[in-house]
Structure 1
Amino acid sequence: MKLKFIEPLVSNYPALTKSITQQTVRATIADNLTDGGTTPSKGMIAESTVYAHDHQLSLTIMIRPRGGDSVYSDPELKIMEADALDAQQLGADGIIVSALTADGQVDTEAMANLIAAAGGMSVTFGTAVDELNDAQLADNLKWLADNGVEKVLTKPASQPDLARLSKLNNIVGAAGMQLIVWTSSDTQPDQLNEQLGLNYFLQPQK
């Protein structure tokens, strides 16, 4: 079993302060976790960033205007760009963001604008990776890596498709990125660590 890391995912300030342990190096904040996470308020970002940095942690912000699919309208993309810029100006260290075209490809134009709005923050491509067309998965992930995306977030089902998850991990690793798994249970990290050698997990905290 490989060493594994659990990154807390929280939706409110008290949960952030309670979830930090000596092993925590990074935390993520998002609103509406039951709906896959949406962008938290500017106030939440500001105070969480101060707390994280005071405790030598990096803070990642979910940038997502709504639940549902990752095919966004132009107004939604403008909202996301503004939110990413806000997160950068408030001192956050990274964002989780993704956008797809209607045919299941990375929306390269939208993502280029969102990466630019991040202004040097670490960029993680969100769970839209699970909606990508399998036939072009490698090409899509290579584009992300070539354009500055460092991590990819997947959210497998409670009984994950191990073959696809292994394939995704291999492609992400070959592109020089890190795969992060949004856990659906307390036991899933141990299982996926043992079965596939996955070692970085994002786990919702109450």
Structure 2
Amino acid sequence: MSLLIRSRFEFLRKFDAEELINIYDASLRRAYDDYLEHKITAEFREVYKQAYRGSRRATRGGIEALAFLREHGYRIAIVTNGQLEDQTEKAKAIGVSHLVDQIITSEEAGCCKPDKRMFDMAMEALGASPENTHMVGDNAEADIKGGLDAGLQAILYSPGSEDEERELFGTTVPVLDSMYDLTNLLTGGFPEFEPRIYY
């Protein structure tokens, strides 16, 4: 994706892909934080919410990976900096609500990732222990640091990455460029399903 963007916008060619991804992620987090903290106007919040809702879809391979893991006895929680109503609606809209045991939101936790209390809440809800729990996330600071601080085994989801692992916060963390790889990493097997695109 970053190669496509850099080929279309000449002024972005001076940045490497990792730098562009980091800038994009930081901007997205800032906008989302402003949205959650009501720092933007009500009119913009409504426009943002409608645009966001209209563009939601499951991560490629995500539904298949979750279904495969559920079939193999994994309990699954979504841990998110958001509001419960919005996140529950999102899980239904993208087709994963039936594959998830619990949704833990910053709204109900009273804190945001990377605060370890979010992850502790998820483990308590699932009846899980840190040594047997994985945190899969696409945000190094919120997801990976938070998961590591809670004693979890962290896995970075970084689409398009060629890294198999990355050193983050003093720990070597596996890197997935596809959710299809998650099943192989966790179970040692590869599910037999055809990739699908969800809109």
Same fold (TM over 0.5): no
Scaled by the length of structure 1, what TM-score is found? Answer: 0.36
Scaled by the length of structure 2, what TM-score is found? Answer: 0.37
Highest Rg: 1 or 2? 2
| More strand by percentage | 1
